[in-house]
Amino acid sequence: MQPIGTSGILPLAGARVVWRLGFAIVLLALALISSDFLQAVYNKYHRLDPAAYTMFWTRRGWLWTHLAGGALTIILGPIQFLTQWPRSLPQLHRWTGRIYLTGMLVACVGATGLIANSPAPFAIRAAFAATALVWLTTALSGLTAIRGGRARSHRRWMLRNYIVTLSPITFRALLEVPGLIALPPSPAMIAILLWSSWLLPLLISEAIYRIIDRAGLRPSGSFKPAPLSGAA
């Protein structure tokens, strides 16, 4: 099958409009879900109340570090995906990208402190550590790709990275799945949900990518790498 957008099955301009509309809907849904999550976090932790902090009270310094960096990544992620389009904004993309990566590193420092001082069973701490590792490695792969001028690979790795960024939101959503709500939240169950919170969306996104690539549904020429001149 010839790719849509290059073959005349769907004119290039039409394919781009459909592509961008779908992208805008996904981003809008993401913005709503993310702001709901961040609002819930703010409501829970904005007052210095040991009752609200529960087991995090003695680790609140690590938690604040973690939350500050984590909130930054959730907010800046969509900006990164938006600024890849109007290629007139490569500087904004670069700077928000640097702040995003810094936020991720800060959140990882907080996560390391939380894990090291956590009373949770090993399975849960291991699941968090694995998440942090995947978060860092996907970012490193994305960074290496763009430094090597491989813009398409960069986009894919950063999408994977953002999927991991969203894992606490996915985790919260998984807890609401009707069949799971009824089960007692054992350490094993929490560990499985932590792994699933990024593994499942990653697998789904890889499957969607494959379908799009095989069917040639990506409108060609819509995403060209921004010129690298000026990149530090």
Which parts of this chain interact with ligand HEM (CB under 6 A)?
Answer: 41, 44, 66-67, 70-71, 73-74, 107, 111, 114-115, 118, 120, 128, 131-132, 135, 164-165, 167-168
State the nearest-atom distance from the C-beta of 226 to ligand HEM, in Å. 26
State the nearest-atom distance from the C-beta of 58 to ligand HEM, in Å. 11
State the nearest-atom distance from the C-beta of 130 to ligand HEM, in Å. 8
Q: Which is nearer to ligand HEM, 84 or 165 (CB)?
A: 165
Q: Which is nearer to ligand HEM, 18 or 71 (CB)?
A: 71
Measured distance CA(226)–CA(91) in Å, rounded: 9
- Sign of torsion, CA 190 191 194 200? negative
CA distance from start to end of the chain: 41
Measured distance CA(73)–CA(168) in Å, rounded: 12
Q: What's the distance, CA 46 to chain centroid?
A: 24
Asked if residue 10 lies in contact with residue 4, where contact means CB atoms within 8 angstroms, the answer is yes
For residue 232 the two structure tokens come to 């530090």
State the nearest-atom distance from the C-beta of 201 to ligand HEM, in Å. 12
